[in-house]
Amino acid sequence: MMNYFLIFFQVCINTVAQLFLKNGAKCINFSQPLWEVLVSMFLNLNIWIGGAIFIVSFLLWIYLLNQFELSFLYPFGSLSFVLAAIGGWFFFEEDINFYRILGILLVFIGVIFIAKS
């Protein structure tokens, strides 16, 4: 049971990292010269936080790869699509239409089948 918690935790922190990176990216003017874009990225706290969380997610993923078969573990990563869609809707007011909801449900159902295997 603890390993399932770690899988879900890894998916969650991976998604949280993406949300921080998205929030940081929104503050950068990509029409500037490249060096100004890079400086903006370097000085952006949200990008630093997202990157740090991403590193923790990566290290946990390496541990989980050691514990599980790749063909079992990898589909759980698709739950980040589900959480990212919900996070995008909640934090960034992104649109979630019928087709996205249907896709989210299909991904979720697929992960349930994998977990039962």
Confidence of residue 2 (pLDDT cuts 50, 70, 90): confident
Give the separation between CA 82 and CA 112, rounded to whole angstroms.
Answer: 13
The single-letter code of the amino acid at 34 is L
51 token code pair: 């990157």
Per DSSP, the chain holds a count of helices (H) and strands (E) of: 6, 0
**Residues counted in the chain:** 117
> What is the tens place of the pLDDT at every residue in 34-93?
999 999 999 999 999 999 999 999 999 999 999 999 988 988 888 998 999 999 999 999
Domain boundaries, the chain: 2-116
